[in-house]
Amino acid sequence: MMLLSSREESLLPIGLGNHVKKVLFFFSLVLLMVMSTDALAHAVAQGDKGYIQEITGTNLIAFIYLGAKHMVTGYDHILFLFGVVFFLYRLNHVALYVSLFALGHSTTMLLGVYFNIGINSYIIDAIIGLSVVYKAMDNLGAFQRWFGFQPNTKLATLLFGFCHGFGLSSKIIDYNISPDGLMPNLLAFNIGVEIGQMLALCVILIVMGFWRRHTHFYRQAYTANVVMMSFGFMLIGYQLTGYVVSQ
């Protein structure tokens, strides 16, 4: 969804300067450090995983907490959400797109676990990385400029929401959750995910509110989306490499 006017597009730099390269290098190091930890995308801390595998019955509070924690520490979710709301200024537009994303990942997460539909975590996480690349390219207006068409942004947000949900369900299946109290626990986990998403969204909107007041916001917005797109490509490469090595 390209929302820049002609005047705003004229502010975008033609090339990446030294300061942009430094930003890219810094954030690349940060992402690599994050990817080397247990918080990797849809992974779960070993302590949480052991707890999930041991408990039985309905444990609503525990699963709400785990769902919220998973979303807040899921940097791929946060990157996509950041891209979705980047150029959304009206709260009703934010609510619409976030609701579509929530509908998508909630549906496939619940159905995927309930019907035991598992997708290779490397493949689904690579697709989620692709969703980050898509959103950054969309914000930069690349589809119109390079390919001469504009994807339906609402449909794309919903479809990528489905993909994010399968990423969640694939990991939950790996947890080997007890069937005793499965559905209430899954609903609690999903509620936790939505709470975590709202917390992350609040932080993003507050930061964006202050940032948009900056006189060079649109120039910096170009850089930010190039960085986000780079992260997406890094996630794709990392996950595909993991898939090849695991075979």
For 63-93, write each residue's pLDDT tens digit: 999 889 888 888 888 999 999 999 999 999 9
The residues, ordered by sequence, that sit 6+ positions from 66 with a Cβ below 8 Å of its Cβ are 44, 48, 52, 189, 192
- pLDDT cut 70: percent of the chain above it: 80
Instruction: Compute the average pLDDT of residues 191-200.
Output: 94
Q: Is it the case that residue 172 has pLDDT exceeding 60?
A: yes
Least confident of 50-59, 149-158, 185-194, 238-247: 50-59
Q: Is it the case that residue 215 has pLDDT exceeding 70?
A: yes
Q: Is it the case that residue 226 has pLDDT exceeding 70?
A: yes
Instruction: Compute the average pLDDT of residues 155-182.
Output: 88
Label residue 121 by pLDDT band (50, 70, 90): confident
In tens, the pLDDT along 17-66 reads 454 445 445 455 545 544 444 444 455 555 677 777 778 889 999 999 98
